[in-house]
A and B are shown apart, each in its own frame.
Chain A
Amino acid sequence: MKNLYNYILGIADNSLILGQRLGELCGHGPSLETDIACTNMSLDLLGQVRSYYQYAAKIAGDGRTEDDIAMLRKEREYFNVLLVEQPNTDFGYTMARQFLFDVYHFLMLTELEKSTDLNLSAIAKKSIKEVSYHKRFSSDWIKRLGDGTEESHSRIQTAISDLWTYTDELFHQTEADKAMVAEGVGVDVTKLKDAYYEEVNAVLEEATLSVPESKYFQKGGKQGIHTEHMGYLLADLQYMQRTYPNMEW
């Protein structure tokens, strides 16, 4: 049960933290349409997260609710990949982060649909419809910015090159992953890697961007070891619950 619980958190935390990042753009997007799009995607991700955490809370069976799981863990207890916690440096970074995650997210959900765990399979079937819109949106922006002006090209290239170092972690397996794959519940992420880079590289090529050649990759998020940005993000995310414990609305 511990493995299943940790496995669900591994998936859900990615969506929670990315959803929080996108939500930061509410009222701050570069244009009305992109502002609405980012917050729409945020809402989709938070909706998916609720289903995962409700399920996790049921498994934990210790009286904790979905809110406790989302709001009251310490930094080391969040298992999201480093990619999703990276800040909204500019719209290029926001779209690069989104694109690099969406391609993975779509591939992962496609496999999770086949899970022998009917709850996870149902959440995946629901989520994948939403994520296909996200992927279309972020891929379009990569092409538009890459194949746009000199300025947009250089900024999206910088963002892609900077965030590239966080892509490999998507395909690392945790102990919970391995246990769940063995039971037919989890997705073997190592098998998604080739398809991922093939798809990402094809979009980058169409966007006239170069594929980064970095051989060094960052990792740690899946073990709870995060980048400096995570603490600030959680301070923001958890502020209300920490300041007014047990508050509800």
Chain B
Amino acid sequence: MTTTEQHINPKLVKVLESISDPEIPVLSIMDMGVVRSAVIENDIVKIEITPTYSGCPAMDVIGDDIKRAMQKAGYTAEVDLILHPAWTTDWITQRGRKALEDYGIAAPLDEEADKSVLLEGKQLVKCPQCGSTNTKMISQFGSTACKAQFQCNDCQEPFDYFKCLK
């Protein structure tokens, strides 16, 4: 597991948890792990976020959402985009993974499992609808940069799998 320290001022946690990922609304930006630091300096809230994928179009929206939510909470916020350390799916919290599954998106497995699923067709990804692991990959690229397309061989439902990124 890659763990990197997050510096989040406890006073700001509630506000940040209220902001959701615009493309996966059940997931807060905190559960997504994109907020890397949030500190208060001279009455100004300074927040650093990191993109899941370089081209993630949600980042601009997330930045604006943060500023708006902070303003509502009585703070002026500055948002910076940082690239290092690069985001990994390990930063999605357990609560986030559960939210993904409930929403119908299979949560990322570990990197080794990902490789075997994507390369050799071993069946490890669990269908979020019926729970079967008898699933197949349809395409490595899905509805957003971070997902792959899968289908369940048992219930036939197509679903998104959140690709592992490390």
Task: Please indicate the chain A residues that have their CB under 8 angstroms from the CB of B87 in the complex.
Answer: 126
Q: A122-B84, A129-B86 are in contact. Are A44 and B139 (CB under 8 A)?
A: no
Contact A47 B54, beta carbon cutoff 8 Å: yes
Contact indicator per residue, chain B 142-165, by CB within 8 Å of chain A (1) or not (0): 110100010000000000000101
| A137 with B54, Cβ < 8 A, contacts A123-B83, A129-B86 known | no
Q: Mark A136-171, 1 if CB is under 8 A from B, else 0.
A: 110000000000000000000000000000000000
A41 CB contacts on chain B under 8 angstroms: 141
| Max chain B Cβ within 10 angstroms of own Cβ: one of A46, A48, A129 | A129
Known contacts A33-B138, A40-B145, A129-B166: does B83 contact A122 (CB below 8 Å)?
Answer: yes
Tell me the B84-99 residues at the A interface (CB within 8 Å). 84-87
In the assembled complex, which residues on chain A have CB atoms less than 8 Å from the CB atom of B163?
133
Q: Give the chain B neighbours of A44 by CB distance below 8 A.
A: 53-55, 145
Mostly, the A contact residues are: helix
Is A118 engaged at the interface, CB distance under 8 Å to the other chain? Answer: yes
A residues within 8 Å of B by Cβ? 33-34, 36-37, 40-41, 43-48, 50-51, 118, 121-123, 125-127, 129-130, 133, 136-137
Given pairs A126-B84, A136-B119, 11 additional interface contacts (CB within 8 A): A36-B142, A43-B53, A44-B53, A44-B54, A46-B55, A122-B86, A125-B84, A126-B83, A127-B54, A130-B145, A133-B140
